[in-house]
Amino acid sequence: MKSSEGMYHWVHQICPICEIPPTKFLGQRGGAAHRQRLGVKCDIWRCGQCGLIFPNPMPIPVNGLEQHYGVEPSDYFEHHDLGQKDACAADLLHTAQSLLGKKGRLLDIGAGRGEVLRIARQENWHAVGIELSPTFAAFAARHSGAEILREPLEECGFKDQVFDAVILAAVLEHLYNPDQTIREIARILRPGGVLFLDVPNEAGLYFRIGNLYQKLMMRSWVVNLAPTFSPFHVFGFTPKSLRAILSKYNFKPTEWHIYPGISLVPAHGGLTALLEQQAAKAVTSLSKYGELGTYIATWAIKV
């Protein structure tokens, strides 16, 4: 079904970290401002203080999150290999155990298909998941055998300082209330507990070159975010803004990794699209220096 402006509530948005209006208009994204005309056109802004990137106004789906995520996991995660995800889950859990010095109570927010939960239960963690997509939650429950809560974290009613580790993998950029979520994680984590999260680096070389390319093409477009089309990224973090939100709630990064990852441009749309994809691959391969990579991953300790 084709997206339209009427499928969204358009809500004035301030920076949730700094609690001030954005000051830098970056460009437009989606609909007529997308080469495949995906989604609905949004105005993309940046906070002048922390650098967080977001649409203003923010398009909130009229029919709730199911409007975006009410699809089969096999469709949404079509490029994710289950075996590879299991291996990544095992690495995450081993790092968590190393940082904590033990196993304990683990919460996986945005459990997806339940890979982390399944491996966690196999390795004798007490693991609980949160997944708001009904289709994803049903799959995760079957795949992992773990308890899957289907309410937002803020509505789950966890006691204070009840978890040793929280996993927030590829989730924060999807949330309409990232500040509230990090605040709630700080409340439910024990002192010395660990948080893992990873997000796209919207200040990375891929995004910088992509936005410059759009300007050279005389377009008012940007390549940041995807508020109204898959994968539905609504907040864009930079190293500065991610450090800011962690510091705000007394998290101290103990591991900080910025890496190139994979190219984000699909080869759809003929020769021009193919050339754009090859250029994106070249840019991605060059982004391994400094903080120019396309993704940020961090482990942070609650202090």
- Domain containing 248 equals 73-201+239-302
Specify if 165 maps to a domain: yes
Specify if 52 maps to a domain: no
> pLDDT > 90: what percent of the chain?
78
Q: How far apart are CA 302 and CA 164, in angstroms?
A: 10
At residue 82, the pLDDT reads: 63
Specify if 29 maps to a domain: no
> pLDDT > 70: what percent of the chain?
88
- Residue with tokens 């997944």, as numbered in its chain: 131
Q: How far apart are CA 70 and CA 49, in angstroms?
A: 35
Here the CATH number for the domain that contains residue 108 is: 3.40.50.150
Specify if 285 maps to a domain: yes
Specify if 81 maps to a domain: yes
Specify if 194 maps to a domain: yes
Contact 3, 42 (CB under 8 A): no
pLDDT at 268 over 60: no
Q: 73 falls in which pLDDT band (50, 70, 90)?
A: confident
Specify if 35 maps to a domain: no
**What would the mean pLDDT of 210-235 be, rounded to a whole number?**
96
Specify if 68 maps to a domain: no
Instruction: Give how many domains the chain has, as a whole number.
Output: 1
Long-range (24+ apart) CB contacts under 8 A made by 93-102 are 93/119, 93/120, 93/123, 93/125, 95/196, 95/255, 95/299, 96/164, 96/165, 96/167, 96/194, 96/196, 96/299, 99/194, 99/254, 99/299, 99/301, 100/164, 100/165, 100/192, 100/193, 100/194, 102/164
Q: pTM of the predicted model, to two decimals? A: 0.90
